[in-house]
Amino acid sequence: MGCIVRGRGLYKEYPGGVLAVKGVDLEARPGKTALMGPNGSGKTTTLSMLAGALKPSRGEVEVCGLNLWGREWLEARRKIGFAPQDMPFRDKLTGRENLVWHGLLRGLSLGEASRRARRLGEELGMSSYLDRRVATYSGGMRRRLSIAAALMGEPEVLILDEPTSGLDPGAREELWGLIESRLRDLTIVFSTHLGEEAERHADIVYLFSRGRVAAWGRPGELIERYAPRPRIVLYLQEDAEPLEIDGMRPQVLGPGVVSYTVDDPGMGMRAAIDAYTLRGVAVERVEVRRPSLEEVFLAVARGG
């Protein structure tokens, strides 16, 4: 069955009466669960409560059947590896020395911490960087080191706060390839503000808005349930007059660029091309823009 993480009725109130999280319920099973939302939506606060880094004002967190804030708190925390956005590394030390330090904080002996640092360096493809000072690391390599540090205690749950924040697309793909090939047996919970990232890499997505879960489900289910219909975008000559076609109203996106919302992209495309061709207007290019998780989030957030 694997390790399950559950948050029940989670609230977090900060000094001054600021309520950052308002009654969040969620469950993460083995695989990848994403918490998606913009800055200030409550996803990072919720993630920190699931990791045990922040105590809920109300509610409870259960990890592998253990109460994270109950009598089993120590055993529960040993099952969690947490990589916040700013993992506390000592830049003057090497990657290996930092990993050993994190291992010692976990209660490992020096020998065991050294062995795990070497093994994780190999598994995460950073062996050649382990003996370099962390100050010389790229953003992508620091992210790998953060994940390695979170794995030093051999957890069953890995919690990642925006693991690809600040990385270029190539580095993001490389990091996700690493996570999906090497860490597939863990329960992974990660936060992101990127719809494309959640859509491609998560099994279950929780959409956060204003401190609450606005919707949750598999990415495909959320798109089918909430997303607007597909659109076709036509690129015409700049002085072309937008046409209403079979009840489809045009939306002008720019000079010579017109969009139509359709039920069937294939039929809509043919109807649009035929209509403009009959008027003597050449269609230079057509795009089909299918709904994405980003659009789902916008639709759900606007609808409360």
pLDDT digits over 146-201, tens only? 999 999 999 999 999 999 988 888 888 988 998 888 888 899 999 998 888 999 99
Q: Is 127 exposed, middle or buried (0-12, 13-18, 19+ CB in 10 A)?
A: middle
pLDDT above 70 covers a percentage of the chain that reads 99
Check residue 255 and give its pLDDT: 92
Q: What band does 227 get if pLDDT is binned at 50, 70 and 90?
A: confident
Check residue 84 and give its pLDDT: 93
The residue ranking higher by pLDDT, 134 or 289, is 134
**Same topology between domain 5-225 and domain 230-291:** no
The ranges assigned to domains in the chain are: 5-225, 230-291
Check residue 85 and give its pLDDT: 87
> What is the average pLDDT value for the chain, to the nearest integer?
92
Task: Give 273-277's long-range contacts (Cβ < 8 A, gap of 24+).
Answer: 273/234, 275/243, 275/245, 276/234, 276/236, 276/240, 276/243
Check residue 136 and give its pLDDT: 96
Mean pLDDT throughout 11-28?
94
Q: Is 27 exposed, middle or buried (0-12, 13-18, 19+ CB in 10 A)?
A: middle
Task: Give residue-wise pLDDT tens across range 136-149.
Answer: 999 889 999 999 99
> Of the candidates 215, 223, 197, 203, which has an alpha carbon nearest to the alpha carbon of residue 300?
215
Task: Give residue-wise pLDDT tens across range 35-91.
Answer: 998 888 999 999 999 999 999 999 999 999 999 999 999 999 999 999 998 888 999
Host H or E run for residue 297: helix 293-302
User: Does residue 300 carry a pLDDT above 80?
Assistant: no
In CATH, which of 1.10.357, 3.30.43, 3.40.50, 3.30.70 is domain 230-291? 3.30.70
Whole-prediction pTM:
0.83
Q: How far is CA 147 from the centre of its chain?
A: 15
Mean pLDDT throughout 101-123?
95
Host H or E run for residue 286: strand 283-289
User: Does residue 303 carry a pLDDT above 80?
Assistant: no
**Using CA atoms, how far apart are residues 26 and 209, in angstroms rounded to an integer?**
14
Mean pLDDT throughout 224-239?
87
> Of the candidates 82, 75, 24, 76, which has an alpha carbon nearest to the alpha carbon of residue 51?
82
**Using CA atoms, how far apart are residues 122 and 63, in angstroms rounded to an integer?**
29
Q: Which CATH superfamily is domain 5-225 in?
A: P-loop containing nucleotide triphosphate hydrolases (3.40.50.300)
Q: What band does 1 get if pLDDT is binned at 50, 70 and 90?
A: low
